[in-house]
Amino acid sequence: MVEGGRIQAWELQGEGGSYRIEAGHYVLAAGQGNEALGAELTGVEVPLMQRRPLHQVCVKKVGLKPFYGVALGSSTKPPLVVTTHYDRAGVPVWYLGGDLAETGLDCSEEEQIGRARALLEKLLPWVDWSGAEWRTHRVHRAEAAHPGGHRPPGVYCAKRGNAVMVWPSKLALAPALSDEVLKALEKPKAGGGREFKGLEGWASPPLPEPLWDRLFS
């Protein structure tokens, strides 16, 4: 419910019934879901969102060393970005992004894996890839709209009335984004009450299955 450019309340449906949430401020941090949330705020000017598609590569191998790195090249975009994760059995999985993911949109899974392997063998020639398992994953990165559809230069935090819509642009910038959110929030008035008892019956949302376990199942 919006009046005078401010959210007066938000109606939610849960297992225990319908709930009306009234708050001084609402921080919308749902990533791609911000687009749908913003569409509900009739009368509130909300920023436009863009999607940047990526074609990431995952490589899994027993004994693979944990590695977090960003390769540097002549372009403004790093040729390769590597982070390490672990499947349910504790086997390491490298998640490969960077320019590799952005320029592999038209590649099949086999072609993208070939590009990733060639790049790794060039940058890390001492790593033995025999016995490794490879998969790819297509995903959209949700961001505030930026001219030309390029990646925004930093975090995005926009206040519209008592709604604050945010995108970190990169998860590594989430701490910086939280600082901007705190600056955007007005200090609560003295004597303001808080009542959370109505939420006690709500079940905790389940944790999703990690990407690594889904890809290599």
pLDDT band of residue 147 (cuts 50, 70, 90) is confident
The lowest-confidence range among 9-23, 43-57, 66-80, 171-185 is 9-23
Rounded Cα distance between 54 and 69, Å, is 18
Q: Give tens-digit pLDDT for 50-68.
A: 998 999 999 999 999 999 9
189: pLDDT strictly greater than 70: no
16: pLDDT strictly greater than 70: no
**Among candidates 165, 167, 169, which has minimal Cα distance to 40?**
165
What percent of the chain has a predicted confidence (pLDDT) above 70?
A: 92
| Angle, vertex CA 27, rays to CA 187 and CA 1, nearest 5 | 100
Mean pLDDT, residues 170-197 taken together: 79
| Bridge partners for 11 per DSSP | 20
Rounded Cα distance between 161 and 140, Å, is 29
pLDDT band of residue 191 (cuts 50, 70, 90) is low
**pLDDT at residue 110 in the model:** 97
Mean pLDDT, residues 175-182 taken together: 93
Q: Please, how many CA atoms are within 13 Å of residue 215, restricted to the half-sphere of its CB?
A: 21
- Tracing tokens 């401020």 back to the chain, one arrives at 25
Strand arrangement of the beta sheet that strand 163-167 belongs to:
26-28, 163-167, 156-160
195: pLDDT strictly greater than 70: no
Rounded Cα distance between 21 and 23, Å, is 6
Mean pLDDT, residues 31-38 taken together: 89
Query: Sign of torsion, CA 49 156 33 20?
Result: negative
